[in-house]
Amino acid sequence: MRKYSINRSLCGGTVLLTGATGFIGGSLLERILELDPGPNCVYVLVRKREGISPKARIDKILASPLFVRLKPEALRKVKVIPCDLTAGNLGLSDGDRQILLSECTHVFHSAAFISFAAHLNSAVRINLLSTRHLLGLTKRMPKLRAMVHVSTAYANCTRNSDEVLQERLYPSSMEPSSFIDMMERMSCEEINHKTEEILGNHVNTYTFTKQMAENLLAMERGNVPLSIIRPSIVLNSWSQPTVGWVDNVNSGACGFIAGIAKGLFRTFQATPNTLLDVIPVDMVVSTILAAAERAHQDPENLHIFHCTSNTINPTTWDEYCEEVVRACREHPCENLLWYPKARIRKNYLRNLLVLYVFQIIPAFIINSISPIWNFDKSELIYQVQRRYLKGNSYTSFFSTHQWKFDRRNTQVLQDALAPDEREVHPMDPRLINWRKYFEICVVGTRRYFHKESSATTERARQQMKRLKITAELTPFFIFALLTYAMMNIGISWSIASIFSATIVLFFIWL
């Protein structure tokens, strides 16, 4: 690959971006607008949602801390186009479609339905059909230089875990167009009834439809210069646009950090020494922009890049949990529910027992007696715990298995990038010190998700010290309470104390 510059890669062009309201898409939009010299215009396709207009949704994002470093003239490059990606014509007006066809030079498709519990019909419409519809529009763009599709490293999670997954296309279980035809002939009831059979070895509709979308792009791209990016678990930014940026905690790893930070979560099912593959969002964005240049330089071939870390800078679930807990204690949030403490547990039943004893049941009790305390957040806490319980069941397959990802294509991108741009556009996971990075994630989540400033940290530390003392005394209180209760019903002190100690030690062991 020839040497290239990300800063100049979009110079004078016109960008079409989907998924700008998401974590990756929003970060990508910010970086594109930061490029100097950058594109002339960025068209963002956004749908109306819950009564909020597309423009209002983008205006809210542009007003967030993510875009604070941008000048007003850069923000004015953003043009919002209402759409419906699942519609055959993308829900575009004739005028908007004509503008996109005549002007666009780069297409970035990061919109996706990232839900492990999604019904197959919904996942197909958003992850597969929208990709086909966008590709159909892209193929008619005479000025097109490159299209980049954001997939997932786990699209091929059905492969043997001993196998190193390559940066190449793996065939889906069905030919995409035949699968789409089959889905269109089936009723919703038939689809729900046959979902498990259709998915085969895939554990959810998300990975199934993402793999299918990759195959569809490969088969139907025609002359479109195309790159596919496969990021693993995407966490807070490493350095760009600011250290620790995050705007949602929808992924399991992000949500776990947010929950520990508030003392909500105590356990997560995973294999402790299994390799965890996480990647900062700014490294994903850098790889997307670099992949566009690769597709432009070599338009004949399909290019696939793994945006992953575990083969060149490994870390484990155990290290992740330990460092997150440590950082949560060093940088505590205000209004903690409990002293930050969490562990990775491999055993399903043990993890489930801890979930119920230390999270679900206490949240239910708090919610039940909240009218007495006038605690207005009790219902929210209970709902969070119920969602977390479901989330554990959806993510356990991925946290108890590991995959290794080849990165040779991505390494070529890194090596060919202009040396003076490698700090501004980080791509190399070997730069990451995991202890430091997980601390960055905690501090960033505290600041940007929980919206707590650094000025409150010292006050939060004092609150946490009191909670620590309470947490340390709680086993003794439970021991005394159980012993007293049993002695009141005629059980001798020795038997009562042995039984109480056994119960307390059992829960400590958990």
Report the distance separating Cα 404 and Cα 393, nearest Å.
23
Q: CB count, 10 Å around CB of 219? A: 13
| Single-letter amino acid, residue 147 | M
Mean pLDDT for the stretch of residues 118-147: 95
**Residues pairing with 82 in the sheet:** 46
Minimum mean pLDDT range among 206-215, 247-256, 348-357: 247-256
User: 195: which 2 tokens?
Assistant: 């979902």
CA distances 91 to 86, 123, 130, 134, 151, Å, are 8, 18, 11, 11, 23
Mean pLDDT for the stretch of residues 194-219: 95
User: 250: which 2 tokens?
Assistant: 């929808």
pLDDT of residue 166 exceeding 70, the answer is yes
- The phi, psi pair for 166, rounded to 5°, reads -90, 160
pLDDT of residue 363 exceeding 70, the answer is yes
Dmax (CA) for the chain in angstroms is: 89
pLDDT at site 288: 98
Report the distance separating Cα 104 and Cα 43, nearest Å.
9
Report the distance separating Cα 422 and Cα 434, nearest Å.
19
This prediction's pTM: 0.94
- Read off the DSSP letter of residue 226: E
pLDDT in tens, 373-394: 666 676 788 899 999 999 888 9
Report the distance separating Cα 39 and Cα 74, nearest Å.
10
Confidence of residue 259 (pLDDT cuts 50, 70, 90): very high
Q: CB count, 10 Å around CB of 2? A: 8
List, as one string, the DSSP characters of 338-359. Answer: S----EEE--HHHHHHHHIIII
Mean pLDDT for the stretch of residues 217-236: 97
User: 272: which 2 tokens?
Assistant: 């402790």
Instruction: Check if the beta carbon of residue 69 is closer than 8 Å to that of residue 34.
Output: yes
Instruction: Give the SS3 label for residue 217.
Output: helix
Confidence of residue 37 (pLDDT cuts 50, 70, 90): confident
Instruction: Check if the beta carbon of residue 392 is closer than 8 Å to that of residue 268.
Output: yes
- The phi, psi pair for 149, rounded to 5°, reads -110, 130
Instruction: Name the packing angle between helices 378-399 and 348-355 (round to 10°).
Output: 170
Confidence of residue 88 (pLDDT cuts 50, 70, 90): confident
Helix (H) or strand (E) run with residue 79 in it: strand 78-82
Instruction: Check if the beta carbon of residue 124 is closer than 8 Å to that of residue 164.
Output: no
pLDDT of residue 248 exceeding 70, the answer is yes
Report the distance separating Cα 372 and Cα 334, nearest Å.
23
Average pLDDT, the chain: 93
CA-based nearest residue to 228, from 155, 139, 312 = 155
Instruction: Give the SS3 label for residue 307.
Output: strand
Give Cα 507 to chain centroid, integer Å: 32
Report the distance separating Cα 510 and Cα 507, nearest Å.
5
